[in-house]
Homo-oligomer: A and B are copies of this chain.
Amino acid sequence: MNDKMIIAGREFSSRLFIGTGKFASNRIMSDAIEASGSEMVTVALRRVNIEDSSDDMLSAIMRENVQLLPNTSGARDAKEAVRLAKIARAASGIEWVKLEVTPDPYYLLPDPVETLEAAKELVDEGFIVLPYINADPVLAKKLEDAGCATVMPLAAPIGSNKGIKTRDSIKIIISQASVPVVVDAGLGLPSHAADAMEMGADAVLVNTAIAVCDKPSEMAQAFAKSVEAGRQGYLAGPGCVSETANASSPLTGFLRD
């Protein structure tokens, strides 16, 4: 299946993005990233020393084919987010940034107004911006118009493992987007990731579900397979949902002959 995804000119074979929070150790994280086959790994800027190539966390993440995606987690407004992004770029030379602006410390939901403001400024400054947002189709379109490389609507509150609780809005976002749509936050099981891909999402981001389970590497591999399965199912042109039964085995003939 030749089905590459392109973001900002870079080609990705894997449609599973991985987050790096909450792993019990760098070793466990490294193994899970390896098992996932992910080519896009996000990391909180303040948790690594990007300048120092011997930084333990960084070396646990990095490998060939992986695009490091610094994020602005912890930023409460546009100003903080922009500052964080600039610090990271200055230190690392990486222009990619996952934009997160979350004023509320309890649910960590994104701020639509500050996110849009920060996105505009970061795009102007030459960043490749992937914003984390509520599943708001109007906001998604505005961010796309502002030059963002993707939109990343949430499926459910971060870390909740609930699956896609914003289904109708995500469908609309997908139907209207001309940049890749990456479903982010709340995917708790492989089936949730497959579900997102079957809806036509271009990729998914998973962190908690892999980091906080009994066997992170196994779970990472399970998510990798389910993302492939969902994508392949989407491309295979599924049939319709129907109310009435459709016999798999037609009833004619035989018994009443």
Contacts and interface: CB of A to CB of B under 8 A. Distances in A.
Identical copies of this chain, number? 4
Contacts of A63: none
B213 A247 contact: no
A95 interface: no
A54 to B, nearest CB: 20
Interface string A187-207: 011111011001000000001
Contacts of A80: 255
Contacts of A76: 255
A208 interface: yes
A126 interface: no
Interface residues of A, number: 99
B142 A138 contact: no
Given A194-B229, A223-B229, A229-B225, A108 B245 contact: yes
A249 interface: yes
A135 to B, nearest CB: 8
Contact of A191 (B44, B142, B198): B198
A77 B47 CA distance: 40
Interface in A60-92: 71, 73-76, 80, 84
23 contacts: A1-B218, A21-B248, A21-B250, A73-B249, A74-B251, A103-B138, A111-B142, A113-B113, A134-B138, A136-B136, A157-B168, A157-B245, A159-B246, A159-B247, A189-B194, A189-B198, A189-B238, A190-B229, A191-B195, A191-B198, A214-B237, A222-B232, A222-B233
